[in-house]
Each structure stands twice: as C-alpha cells, then as structure tokens.
A and B are shown apart, each in its own frame.
Chain A
C-alpha cells in the first residue's frame, strides 16, 4: 500500500531533514490538516487521500534555508515548480515526495451535500463516489459534486517533479473542459458581472486568507493591500476597495498563478474569487502560450517580451 511506502520513505529521509510536511487526520475522519513531522513517531500520524486538500507548497518560501521535505499531489507540484522557477526556494533544500492523486474533496461542498458531517466515522472513495459513514449509516455522493472545480479539469494528477515518486501513477482524465461556475460566469454580460461583484464583494471581510493561503503570494509584509506608502487601497471594506484588492491579487499573480484554488478554499465567505485568477490565467495562455508551474525553465511572460508579439493585434 502506497501510504505505508510513503511513511517508510519519509522515515528514511527524515534524519537528513529539518522537517517533512504532510497531512494528518483533522478533528473528524472527514477532514485532514497539515502535519509537520520532526521525529519518526510523527510520521505514523501521516495520512494521504481525498482529504489531503491543502497545497503545502505555501509553507515553503517561509522555510527557505531549512532542509524541508514535502508531500505533493500533481497540482501542488506545479506550485513547487513555479516557486523554484522564481528562485523563491532552492532545489537542494527541498526534498519532494511525489504522489499520484485521484482528486480531493471540498469540505464546504461535502458539508452542504451531507447532513451531520461532523459526526462522520469514516470516509472513503468508491469508484466515482464518495462514501461517508455517519451514525452507522452509509451516505453516497458523486465525487464530481463534492470536489473542488480544479479536480474537474485536472490535467496533471501526478507530481510533475519529485525526488521520490511513491505508489502508482494516477490515470485520471479531466471530467470537463470548463468548470460549471466559470462557464456560467463567462456567459454573463459585463453589466451583470458588475452587479455580481458588487454583491459578492460586499461580503468580503478582507481577512486576507486568500492571500495567505496562496503559494505564490510571497510579499506578505510589503503587500500593497496594507501599504500606507504608497496608499493603494483603504482598509474600508466597501465592494469597491475589496474588488481593488482582489484585482491587485489577480494581477500580481498573472503568469504565476497555478490555479490550485487555495484562495477560494481558504475564503471564509465562500466568494468565487478563483474566477478572476482563472480568467487571468486564460488570458496569459491565449496571449503568450504560457502555463505557470509546468516548465521549470519557462520565462514568466510579464517579465519578458517579444519585439513582434504573435497574438497582440495593434
């Protein structure tokens, strides 16, 4: 079984590392939470499965200079590739335990679909279904209904970069080309989108969870959202200032965002802010043929230019 292999592999590597980051079971069997392993006995708490949602690459830039091991799924590995590309982490300091992924579960969506999820005693995948046992009754829901949008369109289920690839490669195919939420958004008129953001942004509390969960947001203390000099945006939580913050986040991630969806997962108000990042990433793909986190050698499109731009008509 690959979890045993993964545990063994981490135990073998741990003496040379300061710590290894993975996941452990959270407050219920229906949740997982990041786990920092320092000692061999910590490794026994490690889990890996459809609840291993967090993109642990977010922790890497903050641990620069330390020898860190990290367990990654396909989408997480794209964040690691992009961090390496931008020299925000160094390759020799990071040990990557790559895994194949069969999709993860959005806790928010599962919680909406299943009653009394906090009383769950077990959760497992069964083909295309998720089976949750609550109060000794099994409840079955379709995976496609409770997974985050990124799993519907996932084209990179296996870790793209790894020192140790553990277990079998996943052969999951994308379920659809465009996630339903993005499709609905794209069908809206510009006027409707204006009203849509006015409504959505009125509930943003500017907690910056989206920024802090983002593996590519590395400015932190120098973030324009909180800078007073220059004073880019006020602390007022009006839809206008909130949208300004979201657009700043989107533009600062243009060409770098790996669309892991951590921003949206971390949002306590469940705002569909990934729509903006996906739109920017699609623009980068169409204009410059660039996909972030895929090629460790690729130039970041907004840091370079072509004298004759192939896809820009003037």
Chain B
C-alpha cells in the first residue's frame, strides 16, 4: 500500500545496524509518518557497503539508492564510515559516466536518536526520486533500431515507455 499518492518507486536503502537502522526504528517507534517506497537492507556498518552493491541495485532496476551510516567519528568499528565516505563519494563521481543520474543516489549520516532527521531524509529523498520519475532500464536492445529507440526514449525522459516499464 502506498502512503503517497501515485505509483510507488523502487528505492533501496542500505542502513548501518548501529546508527541509521536504529534511527529509522526510532522514527517508527515515535510514529513519524514516512513514505513507503524505501526497501531497507540492514548492513553491519556503512564500511561493509561495496560500491558494487549500489551499482547492482541500479542495474537491477532500482530508481534510487539511499545509504546511511553513523556520523563520522561515531562508528561502532571506529573507522568504517570514513572508508565508506571515500568509496561513496567516488561512486557519485562515476555514476554519471555509467549513464545513471547521480541525483538518484544519496548518502548521509543519521544516528540512532535522530528519528526526526531520518524522517526528513527519507521523505526528501523519496520526493526527489518521484520528481525524477522511474529510472531508465537497461532493456537489452540488440539491433540498431532498438538502440535508436532507446536513445529516443532516453531523450523523451520519464514519460516514455523505456522508463520503468512494468516488465523490467
């Protein structure tokens, strides 16, 4: 069931077990209203997140990916999120070269007590993804005609059938 009007989009959230998952829990316990598009994957630490997790999510049809960990300096494992910060920042730089809009990816830090910040983060990110619309899918074109159709679809933007068709 969608909490926001219109179709739900696929947003994957990688949340660190110690801070952001707790923060999302705090938001839930406090009964803060949240959009329901986000699917949460709980990881032991943001340092556990291989940038390929995010690439894989996008290529498998995610419309947005949100990563959240402990604030720098507060990592349960001392320095996991410092490493994550470098990797995620590099990924942000690389995504547009792969044809993926970097606005569909966001990383942030939310602590276990910041239920309100989590509500704000997830609401803002979901709204942003809804503005961008469904992500264009890799649809397996194989002939020059298919490629031309993909190029045309990409140029037409989210309204076209290449963007987030149900079969992806």
- B43 neighbours in A (Cβ, 8 Å): none
Determine if B3 is an interface residue (Cβ-Cβ < 8 Å): no
Produce 1/0 per residue, B122-146, CB < 8 A to A: 0000000000000010111110000
> Contact between A193 and B56 (Cβ–Cβ < 8 Å)?
no
Q: In the complex the two chains form, what is the Cα distance from A143 to B3 in whole Å?
A: 62
Given the known interface contacts A193-B98, A248-B52, A307-B73, the answer about A302 and B90 at a Cβ–Cβ threshold of 8 Å is: yes
Shortest Cβ distance from B115 into chain A, in angstroms? Answer: 20
- A192 neighbours in B (Cβ, 8 Å): 151, 154-155
Determine if A270 is an interface residue (Cβ-Cβ < 8 Å): no
- B90 neighbours in A (Cβ, 8 Å): 251, 254, 280, 283-284, 287, 302
- B82 neighbours in A (Cβ, 8 Å): 305-307
Determine if A194 is an interface residue (Cβ-Cβ < 8 Å): yes
Closest to B142 in A: A202
Given the known interface contacts A243-B59, A243-B138, the answer about A191 and B155 at a Cβ–Cβ threshold of 8 Å is: yes
Q: In the complex the two chains form, what is the Cα distance from A232 to B55 in whole Å?
A: 11
| 27 pairs of residues in contact across A and B, judged by CB atoms under 8 Å | A192-B151, A193-B98, A194-B136, A194-B150, A198-B139, A198-B147, A199-B150, A202-B140, A202-B147, A224-B52, A240-B140, A244-B55, A250-B94, A251-B52, A254-B94, A279-B94, A279-B97, A282-B93, A283-B90, A287-B89, A287-B90, A305-B85, A306-B82, A307-B72, A312-B85, A312-B86, A312-B89
Sort A-B residue pairs by CB-CB distance and give the 8 closest, nearest first. Answer: A194-B99, A283-B93, A191-B154, A305-B82, A240-B138, A193-B99, A195-B151, A279-B97
Shortest Cβ distance from A149 into chain B, in angstroms? Answer: 16
Q: In the complex the two chains form, what is the Cα distance from A247 to B57 in whole Å?
A: 13
Tally of A-B Cβ pairs under 8 angstroms:
120
Q: How large is the interface on A (under 10, 10 to 19, 20 to 34, 35 or more residues)?
A: 35 or more
Given the known interface contacts A251-B52, A276-B94, A305-B83, the answer about A194 and B59 at a Cβ–Cβ threshold of 8 Å is: no
Determine if A197 is an interface residue (Cβ-Cβ < 8 Å): yes
- B86 neighbours in A (Cβ, 8 Å): 287-288, 301-302, 305, 309, 312
> Contact between A195 and B154 (Cβ–Cβ < 8 Å)?
yes
Main secondary structure of the interface of B (DSSP, over half): helix
- B73 neighbours in A (Cβ, 8 Å): 307
> Contact between A251 and B51 (Cβ–Cβ < 8 Å)?
yes
Partner of B96, one of A190, A302, A305, A312: A190
Given the known interface contacts A305-B85, A309-B86, the answer about A239 and B140 at a Cβ–Cβ threshold of 8 Å is: yes
Determine if B25 is an interface residue (Cβ-Cβ < 8 Å): no
- A190 neighbours in B (Cβ, 8 Å): 96, 99-101
Given the known interface contacts A198-B141, A302-B86, the answer about A191 and B98 at a Cβ–Cβ threshold of 8 Å is: no
Partner of B97, one of A248, A276, A284, A302: A276
> Contact between A251 and B140 (Cβ–Cβ < 8 Å)?
no
Partner of B150, one of A195, A247, A275, A279: A195
> Contact between A286 and B83 (Cβ–Cβ < 8 Å)?
no
Produce 1/0 per residue, A15-43, CB < 8 A to B: 00000000000000000000000000000
> Contact between A195 and B147 (Cβ–Cβ < 8 Å)?
yes
Given the known interface contacts A194-B99, A238-B140, the answer about A232 and B93 at a Cβ–Cβ threshold of 8 Å is: no
| B107-122 interface (Cβ within 8 A of A) | 108-109
Q: In the complex the two chains form, what is the Cα distance from A196 to B51 in whole Å?
A: 22
> Contact between A194 and B100 (Cβ–Cβ < 8 Å)?
yes
| A284-314 interface (Cβ within 8 A of B) | 284, 286-288, 301-302, 305-307, 309, 312, 314
Most buried by B among A196, A198, A238, A280: A198
> Contact between B155 and A238 (Cβ–Cβ < 8 Å)?
no
Q: In the complex the two chains form, what is the Cα distance from A130 to B67 in whole Å?
A: 52
Q: In the complex the two chains form, what is the Cα distance from A232 to B86 in whole Å?
A: 22
- A276 neighbours in B (Cβ, 8 Å): 94, 97-98
> Contact between A243 and B155 (Cβ–Cβ < 8 Å)?
no
- B157 neighbours in A (Cβ, 8 Å): 191
Determine if B79 is an interface residue (Cβ-Cβ < 8 Å): yes
Shortest Cβ distance from A219 into chain B, in angstroms? Answer: 14
Q: In the complex the two chains form, what is the Cα distance from A67 to B56 in whole Å?
A: 42
Produce 1/0 per residue, A167-191, CB < 8 A to B: 0000000000000000001000011
